[in-house]
Amino acid sequence: MPFVRAHIRRGESRQYRQAILDNVYQALRETFNVPEEDQFMVVDEYDPDNFIFSKSYMNIARSDKFVLLQLTVSNTRSVEQKKALYLRIVERLAEQPGIRAEDIFINLVEVEKENWSFGHGLAQYAQ
């Protein structure tokens, strides 16, 4: 049920983009108990003029390899699970495709379970 948007600067390889998506998905499976095949993700690429971020906010030195991840999820996870997810995403992306921890920004957007429709015009999670 998570919906993941990865925002990056234009120019990275298909393998780089796929490694981001694969590793975020695996981190979600490991920490948020996301079922197999529950994978809905996009990569948005921007020219440098359209991808603005602080190089030093909160004393974090960011590079041009900055990645902004926005994950829309149901509001069913604990603070501990969220912290575990952030850490696991950073660990996995450091391994593959080699993104520095300083260059990974994660934003969770939590929604009620009835705000999802996976097809057929139905709210599959609505009670």
Quote the radius of gyration of the chain (alpha carbons, Å): 15
Q: For residue range 69-112, what is the model confidence (pLDDT) as tens digits?
A: 999 999 999 999 999 999 999 999 999 999 999 999 999 999 99
Q: Is 48 a catalytic residue?
A: no
Tell me the per-residue pLDDT of 60-79, one tens digit each, with 9 for 90 and over: 999 999 999 999 999 999 99
Q: Cα–Cα distance between 102 and 120 in angstroms, integer?
A: 41
Helix (H, G, I), strand (E, B) or coil at 75: coil
The range of the structural domain enclosing residue 109 comes to 3-63+74-115
Measured distance CA(71)–CA(28) in Å, rounded:
10
Neighbours of 12 (CB within 10 A): 16
Within a domain: 11? yes
Give the DSSP H or E segment for 21: helix 14-32
Domain presence at residue 127: no
CATH of the domain at 106: 3.30.429.10
The structural domain count of the chain equals: 1
Could you tell me if 2 and 77 are in contact, meaning their C-beta atoms sit under 8 angstroms apart? no
Per-residue pLDDT tens for 44-60? 999 999 999 999 999 99
pLDDT score of 127: 73
Q: Is position 52 within any domain?
A: yes
